[in-house]
Chain A
Amino acid sequence: MFRSVIIGQYYPVESPVHALDPRTKILITFAFIVVLFVANNPAMYAVLAGFTLCSVALSKVPPRLIIRGLRPILFILVFTLTLHLFMTQGEELFRIGPLVASKEGVVQGVYIAVRLILLLFTTSLLTLTTSPISLTDGLESLMKPFSRVGVPAHELAMMMTIALRFIPTLMEEAERVMKAQMARGADFESGHILQRAKSLVPLLVPLFVSAFRRADDLAMAMEARCYRGGENRTRMKQLHAGQRDVVAGAATLLVVSLVVFMRWGVR
């Protein structure tokens, strides 16, 4: 049976953003999110929004995919907006029963909403332009200096890689077990919530048992290939930060400095 699983949201296409070193992208995203919470007037938001839109354009990712990323938080957006609208004290705009909508409320609500939207756009952009493996490699590289203070950078990266490797395999196995149990009359679909939770036992137990066995086998195979942890281990793939990364980093630094200056620079 043909099986093609696309993990995560990665959208493979050639673009300047895709070509960046994953570490650069992770750091930019991080910096952007931090500065997002510094902004507190329309001008600053405009600068940040402009930066985001430029990045999206450069990434050659279809905008609809990025907008689709908003779907999960749509409810939160509306909820937050409504909350701020009615909970903030200020000049009354209109009222619904006992609830008073204020002008300040509108402003606050919109600010928060814009913040959430830009936050989501940026993180979506990160996962759309960086494959899970690249992300893992980038994170490992960034964490490595901290391994001296006890952060298990290599182990975490190894765990992520193995998890990613086995997702399609485990999905296939889950399907197989499900079919085997259905052939024995198991019903995963009908019944109320508690019944359905209980009916998952014949699916979950075999998967767990099998996962432990896999782990055992895999550990043995890794040892047989001389794996002994991250010490003295080299990597075939090397991350190379190049000119592009310097440019992207500089651009980000500019934007961040600008917003910080706008916030605290003019007194």
Chain B
Amino acid sequence: MEILVCVRRVPDTSENEIELNSAGNDIERDDLVYSINEPDNYAVEEALQIASRVGGNVTVATVGGEDDEEILRREMAMGANHGVLITDEAFSGSDGRGIATILKAFVQKGSYDIILTGVQAEDGGAQVGGMLAALLDYPFASLVNSIEILDGKKLKISREIEGGNKEISEIDLPCVLSIQTGINEPRYVGMKGIRQVASIPIPTFDVSNLGLDPSGVGEAAAKVKRVDYFIPTLGKGAEILHGSREENIDKVLELVAAKGGLK
């Protein structure tokens, strides 16, 4: 089973205090630390588990720059067989469709049975997986929280639907799946593992060796553009507590009790 996992590097929400920059069109990026988009990490773990069950290779790929090599190495330390960096000046400013177009070109360079993405990027909109499937004309399933291999040609997958019920589907290979967190427990990647893959060369792909038309990707081709970035203003009913931790706890209890949430 050849599995491709499309991953992305994002600011780590648990280790950053996200603030707007002075221009108000982006977040302050000076002191940020980055990590792999968490749902993508689950996707890689799932790919590794499938490969260890039925055999095969796991490739992780990302569209980005040199800095993004960091997450490829982390996933390689986790056990991925190959890491691929898809990078070109012409890619910058791509919208979701642009990224899907780039990935489609990469997918067609190889032969993959399963293509996984995380359910969504922590700084994105869950667009790429579906668009990639459509561009490839592959079947697509989103929010997948379990995968079972049937006879090598089909998968049995499930997703949680509203209300906590599980929906089970069969899907033909090759296919694209977006993976929900909680599908597994990703293994830990220690510093030692990352060091051990530190010197493995990571192949890169660009516009020319993917055979892409530069005018179809990048900022110029983007039809979705970010125009603003803001922290919502306080609406009615929202209240920020400013007391000490103890005071806040008491206040929260009081508020919840007042609304009938505590009996």
A binds B: no
Contact surface of A with B, Cβ cutoff 8 Å: none
